[in-house]
Amino acid sequence: MKSGVRKKLKGKARKKAAKTEAAAAGERDLALSLPTQIRRPRECTHGWDVTEYPIDHDCYKFIEEVVRIFDECNNVPEGTVGLAVDKALSFTRDIFPDVWNNSACLEWISSAFVTLGTDAIINEAFFLCAAAMGFSESLNQHVACYYMGSQPLMYVAKIVDLIWAEKRRTISYLKKRIPCKCLNAKYKAVKSLPKMYTCCNKTCSLPDRSVNLSAMMTCGGCRREHYCSEECQAAHWEDHRDACKGWRKWNAENCTK
Confidence (pLDDT) at 55: 86
The amino acid present at 212, given as its one-letter code, is N
The pLDDT profile of the chain, 257 residues, written as one tens digit per residue, is 555 555 555 555 565 555 555 455 445 454 444 555 555 556 789 999 988 999 889 999 999 999 999 999 998 877 799 999 999 999 999 999 999 999 999 999 999 999 999 999 999 999 999 999 999 999 999 999 999 999 999 999 899 989 988 999 999 999 999 999 999 999 999 999 998 889 999 999 999 899 898 899 999 999 899 999 999 999 999 999 999 999 999 988 886 54
pTM for this entry: 0.81
pLDDT at residue 43 in the model: 78
In this prediction, residue 6 carries a pLDDT of: 55
Backbone angles phi, psi at 89, to 5 degrees: -65, -45
pLDDT of amino acid 189: 95
pLDDT of residue 184: 96
Contact criterion met (CB below 8 Å) for 175 and 183: yes
pLDDT value of residue 208 = 87
Residue 31 pLDDT? 46
pLDDT at 32: 44
The predicted pLDDT at position 17 comes to 54
